[in-house]
Amino acid sequence: MIEQIKQHRGALEALCKKYRVARLELFGSAASGRFNPQTSDLDFLVEFLPLRDGEYAEFYFGLLFDLEQLFGRPVDLLMPTAVKNRYFLDMVNRQREPLYAD
């Protein structure tokens, strides 16, 4: 895990609570040791607690925007159920690093 994530653990937890996140995990270059501070984005997997109809977009995009603001870089925010490519999912599963669980 990169230092930038470690430094913002408290803020990450607050965002997860604000946006009713059940689980947040890091994957990609920041989890695998290939992170480049100048060019890399951050990749997260997110699972939400049960939300009412109409809340998913608000909570998903709110979390995405706030993560980008917190880290000052682009963020890819994926829901595991949306990943259909099994090869990509296998790669993600090998790299997953838990950051938050409610």
How many domains, the chain? 1
CA 41, CA 34: separation in Å to the nearest integer? 11
pLDDT at res. 52: 93
What is the reported pLDDT for 2? 86
Tell me, what CATH number does 85's domain have? 3.30.460.10
Note the pLDDT of residue 1: 73
- Looking at the chain, the number of H-run helices and the number of E-run strands are 5, 4
**pLDDT by residue (tens digit) across 24-47?**
999 999 999 899 989 999 999 999
Amino acid 19: pLDDT? 98
Rounded to two decimals, what is the model's pTM?
Answer: 0.93
Mean pLDDT of the chain: 95
Q: Helix axis angle, 55-71 relative to 9-18, nearest 10°?
A: 170
Mean pLDDT of 75-92: 94
Answer for the pair 22, 80: CB distance below 8 angstroms, yes or no: no
Domain carrying residue 19: 3-101
